[in-house]
Each structure stands twice: as C-alpha cells, then as structure tokens.
C-alpha cells in the first residue's frame, strides 16, 4: 500500500513542477514583451528626431531652424512639400554629422547620392552585421518604411516619375550587409 501512495505523490509533484516552470516562462515572456514595446517607443522618437533634421523644408530657403530638430516625421514632411532627389541627397549630406551623432556610434559614415529619380543613401558601420541589422529592422522596420514612404511622396510632389529610394547598409570595408529598396 505504501508503493501506491508514493506513486500518487510523484505524479502530483511533476504537475506542480510543470506549472511552476510554465508560470516562470510566461512571466519572462511578459517582461521581454514589455522591454520590446518600450524599445519601439524609444526608437520611434529617435527616428522622428533624426528624420526631422534631414528632410528638406520648403518653408525656409535652405536654412535649418532650431525647432526642426524637435518636429516629428509627419510635421517635417508636411512642411517639406516637394523635393527633388538632388535636394534630398544634398540635405542628407549636409546633416551627415547629425545623423552619425544621433546613431550613438552605430554609423561611422553616411553619404547620399542622386541619379535621375533615385536617391541612394549609404550608411557605413563597423558595428553592424546581418544579425544586428535583422534585429533592428524587426524592431523598427515599420518606422523606416514610414519615413521612406514620406520621402517618396515628397519626390512625387516635385514631379519625379517613379521615384526610388535605396538605403545601403555596409560594413567598414564597403561590403553591403543589407539593401533596402523603396519605390512609389
């Protein structure tokens, strides 16, 4: 009779251990979810700040005001109106130092070129690899796409037929890690 009691006790312990482990996994999953959501909010606000500094403004004649840095992407694009690919590339190159400093050391070089209806923006970094780029795009890819769509809309307003935006993420040796292509 003792052997039957001990079997029941073992069976109950296994269920309790499983329930405790499952509770711990769910708890950690909730914590990770919360951290990711907070990270998305921080990335979104940083994206707004960076984009507001590099989008050309149609309200001023080439000068960038101090209030531009605190504007959101939507505000900057609504003020921008229309911009040709060369105007966007020029503004990106003018603000390369700002973009590098806002990246907190992740970007070592930023250069924009324009050819016809296409803007190519090359970001160089010794700290990026395929895994980190994938993680960054997973966390904030929708914000990157939103900025790209607004830039493409700006080029459309300027009368550019089939505007294109290409963002090349390269390592310090010039090897392309990831290419992001956007077209309207």
Q: What is the C-alpha separation between 48 and 50, in angstroms, rounded?
A: 6
Q: What is the pLDDT along the chain (184 residues), one digit of tens a residue?
A: 555 555 554 555 677 888 889 999 999 999 888 888 887 777 666 665 555 554 544 444 333 333 334 344 444 444 556 788 888 888 888 888 887 877 777 788 889 999 888 999 898 888 878 887 887 777 777 777 888 888 888 888 888 888 999 989 898 888 888 898 998 7
Chain centroid to CA 45: 11
Domains, the chain, ranges and CATH?
14-45+76-183 (3.30.300)
Torsion over CA: 145, 148, 154, 159 (sign): negative
């Amino acid at each position: 009779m003792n052997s039957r009691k001990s079997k029941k006790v073992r069976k109950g312990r296994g269920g309790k251990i499983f329930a405790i482990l499952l509770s711990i996994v769910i708890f950690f999953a909730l914590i990770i979810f919360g951290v990711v959501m907070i990270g998305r909010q921080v990335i979104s606000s940083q994206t707004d700040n960076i984009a507001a500094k590099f989008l050309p403004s149609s309200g001023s004649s080439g000068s960038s005001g101090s209030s531009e840095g605190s504007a959101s992407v939507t505000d900057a694009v609504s003020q921008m109106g229309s911009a040709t690919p060369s105007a966007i590339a020029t503004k990106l190159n003018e603000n390369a130092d700002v973009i590098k400093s806002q990246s907190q050391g992740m970007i070592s070089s930023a250069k924009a070129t324009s050819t016809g209806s296409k803007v190519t923006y090359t970001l160089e970094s010794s700290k990026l690899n395929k895994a980190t780029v994938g993680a960054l795009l997973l966390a904030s890819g929708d914000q990157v796409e939103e900025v790209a769509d607004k830039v493409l809309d700006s080029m459309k307003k300027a009368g550019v037929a089939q505007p294109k935006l290409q963002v090349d993420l390269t390592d310090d040796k010039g090897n392309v890690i990831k290419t992001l292509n956007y077209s309207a």
